[in-house]
Structure 1
Amino acid sequence: MSQKEVLNLDSVLLELGQFGRYQIRTYCFILVPILFSAIYNAQYIFAAADLDYRCKVPECESSPPQFETDVWGSWALPDGAGQCERYVPISSTCSADSFHPTDKKRCTSWVYQNEDTIVATFDLACEEWKRTLVGTLHSVGIFFALPLTAYISDSFGRRVAFILTAVAPAVVGLARSFSTSYIMYIILETLEAIVGSGVYSSGFILALEMVGINRRVLGGNIISCTFAVGQAILALVAWGIPEWRTLTRVLYAPSFIFLLYYFVIEESVRWLLSKGRKAEAAKIIFKAAAVNKKKLSPETIRQLTDETVQVEELNSTSAAEGKKESVFWQVIKSKVLVSRLFICSFWWITVTFIYYGLSINSVSLGGNRYVNYILTALVEIPGYGLSVLTLDRFGRKGSIMTAFFVCSVSLFGLPFIPSDYQWLQTSLNLLGKLCISMAFSSIYIYTSELYPTSVRHSMVAMCSMAGRVGQVIAPQTPLLMNYMASLPYLIFGVMAAIAGLLMLLTPETLHIQLPDTVKQAEAIAVAPRTKKRTDIIVD
């Protein structure tokens, strides 16, 4: 079949308008669940936040017990505010000579400053590992969510996966707000992550596959900025509603409205074409053209309406790829694509490890924790803006590599700044977060451009799943400070430098159309470098 007979969706998108009214409307719908996904991804930071507490001293407590110990704390509690130990009582009275001056014993009950988090609700005092386990299990849930969502997305459609993962958190999240025990809480926390964490990746793919080549970066970074805004909104709502049960209900109840998306969100045209459902794809393309007020060329209309042309194209593609083999096994057999998979996986581990590691260490700074978290979230937006400005101008490789190296240098330098220059330490920390945020959003786009349509979501999900390793480990980085105060930042810097060097082993994808077949994906590595490389088609 001649080249003219091949239906090229990227060319059709040029005729439709790369980011016209239809795409903008679709984006507006997709951005709302993604904003909520940011909220759900981090809500445990406030629901399971640490609380001030002290040992309960029955001999001296008022009724009801008050957190402040006033005078008697100086002789009943070590340092006047013991959390896990108290002085051994000698008598049942409350006086200075009623307690042993040096002997201590383990506390068995506690008084909490407030009842806002699960630490008080489930009596988790002096069991820090139980509190931090909540975040770890949430990350484990994401690990399982990504391949599950990818399977649904590649098998049953992007829209199906997106709507399911947008609505499911509402059910599980509300159930969690009624938890009667710590075990029930962490089980539901993990389950909610499994059924709902795929909304970001499914929404990202659904949105990206309808955007033209020259608007992928803009579209991807709009999504990333929305995620950052969602994190800031979470902190604002938690600031106003600190009690975790009420907060959880307020955050999760709105997601039931996403059931209506069944009537307003349409399937990815690229996915429909990859499944041979040309009639459905053509209907959506004609609708998009009408909404964007664009007129399709007669040749494009003919290709969309002529069943013979479409069937011959699909058959020729199948023959070229090996009809008896699944595309997934073709990817596994491809040394080029497998090497990309390992490299991409390391990138994802690096960006998630540094991204979440810096966030965790940042919120421990002095001051209002809600304000600190808001600043930590909003500093990502300039990083995403730099991604928009650089990826299409300087290329994917150069931009991402620079972000990794600047992040590495800033984090390497941070431990050597004297404590008197706290403003400079904060600036370097924020610079590192800005650069890793830029790399994070860019890696999403770059990874999706390296793999063929039929397994694109699966490959992105596999890399993202590997990245969850970094997210699971990140909460443990503060423990490294017990051995060396600067050790976490030195590890962050080394990993960022290695990730930057690995960019030398992958191809540039600037202005290249999304590959639909394994051969097209492999051809990116050997395609001649031109100013506009938008014509790579493998027959």
Structure 2
Amino acid sequence: MLLELGELGRYQIIMYTLVCIPILFASANSVTYVFTAGIPNYRCVVPECDSLSDPVYNTHWLEWAIPSNGKSATEYQPEYCERYVRNITTSIYPECFPNRFTNEMERCHEWVFDNERSIVNDWNITCLDNQWMLSLVGTSHFSGVIVGTGVFGAVADRYGRKLMFILSIVIMSVSGIAQVFSNGYIMFVILIFINAFGTAGIFPLAFIIGKSRLAR
């Protein structure tokens, strides 16, 4: 077979390399939603203690103002969405100290985030009652993969694998860049679906095209 078709040469190497480049980007692109929808550390804003112009996530007075979330038995980690109620009888003192807070808890509506950044920071997707919004990002991604795999597999047989391969790359590239400029959660989820839709067409088509080029 090798004598008939010819051994691996410059043409095969160039074609295979060109086909593999989009796969590298598609592979990285397939896991980006894990980071963009990652949950950074965050806590309630405490106006009595925080610097409102430049609040810092870790400070020495957190245990006085915010209860522990109970996830670690040895290390204190502040609760995400609850804080201790202010003790109004000590409000005349400007300093932040333990007696400034009671043992009662209240829900907060402003947060201080750690150094990490994701859509949680951008659109305040915080607390357990909003976790479905983060799960929906993953659902949208894998829905796009399922739909894209079926659509490109069927359409490529009719219109050609090379054309559909290029179209997949264009869809993945344009939608991936557009995600950066998303102005809201709904727009971001839609672009996640479109991006995964385009990415799904790259893998099977690249495999077939690469295999056919090596056989020439």
SS state of the match for residue 189, structure 2? helix
Q: CA deviation at 1:139?
A: 0.8
Tell me the distance in 1 between the aligned counterparts of 2:132 and 2:7.
49
Tell me the distance in 2 between the aligned counterparts of 1:82 and 1:197.
39
**1:113 alignment counterpart:** 114
Q: Residue type of the partner of 2:38? A: A
Percent of aligned pairs with the same amino acid: 38
Tell me the distance in 1 between the aligned counterparts of 2:165 and 2:182.
27
The answer to whether the 8 Å contact 1:114/1:120 transfers is: no
The answer to whether the 8 Å contact 2:140/2:189 transfers is: yes
SS state of the match for residue 172, structure 1? helix
Tell me the distance in 1 between the aligned counterparts of 2:107 and 2:3.
71
**2:42 alignment counterpart:** 53
Unaligned runs of 5+ in 1: 1-10, 213-287, 289-539
**2:79 alignment counterpart:** 82
**1:66 alignment counterpart:** 56
Which shifted more, 187-196 or 141-150? 187-196
Alignment of structure 1 residues 267-278 onto 2, 5 Å: none
Q: CA deviation at 1:29?
A: 0.8
Q: CA deviation at 1:18?
A: 5.2
Tell me the distance in 2 between the aligned counterparts of 1:188 and 1:20.
40
Q: CA deviation at 1:14?
A: 5.0
The answer to whether the 8 Å contact 2:179/2:191 transfers is: yes
**2:100 alignment counterpart:** 98
Compute the TM-score of the two structures, normalised by the length of structure 1. 0.35
- Among residues 193, 196, 200, which one is paired with 1:197 in the alignment? 200
Tell me the distance in 1 between the aligned counterparts of 2:66 and 2:10.
66
Q: Residue type of the partner of 2:56? A: Q
Unaligned runs of 5+ in 2: 69-75
Q: Residue type of the partner of 1:203? A: A
**1:239 alignment counterpart:** none
SS state of the match for residue 104, structure 1? strand
**1:465 alignment counterpart:** none
Aligned pair count? 200
Instruction: Compare CA radii of gyration and give the structure with the larger one.
Output: 1
SS state of the match for residue 112, structure 2? strand
Aligned-residue RMSD, C-alpha: 2.1
Structure with a larger share of its residues in strand: 2
The answer to whether the 8 Å contact 2:57/2:114 transfers is: yes
The answer to whether the 8 Å contact 2:38/2:118 transfers is: yes
User: Could you report, residue by residue, the CA deviation over 1:345-387 in whole angstroms, capped at 9, with x for unpaired residues?
Assistant: xxxxxxxxxxxxxxxxxxxxxxxxxxxxxxxxxxxxxxxxxxx
Structure with a larger share of its residues in helix: 1
Q: Residue type of the partner of 1:52? A: N
Q: Residue type of the partner of 2:125? A: L
Q: CA deviation at 1:110?
A: 0.8
Tell me the distance in 1 between the aligned counterparts of 2:198 and 2:25.
14
Higher RCO (C-alpha under 8 Å, 6+ residues apart): 2
Tell me the distance in 1 between the aligned counterparts of 2:86 and 2:193.
42
| Structure 1 residue 170 corresponds to structure 2 residue 173 | yes
**1:17 alignment counterpart:** 6
Tell me the distance in 1 between the aligned counterparts of 2:124 and 2:203.
34
Tell me the distance in 2 between the aligned counterparts of 1:58 and 1:196.
45
Q: Residue type of the partner of 1:89? A: R
SS state of the match for residue 58, structure 1? coil
**1:155 alignment counterpart:** 158
Q: Residue type of the partner of 1:70? A: H
Alignment of structure 1 residues 319-468 onto 2, 5 Å: none
The answer to whether the 8 Å contact 1:85/1:104 transfers is: yes
Tell me the distance in 1 between the aligned counterparts of 2:3 and 2:13.
15
Alignment of structure 1 residues 484-503 onto 2, 5 Å: none
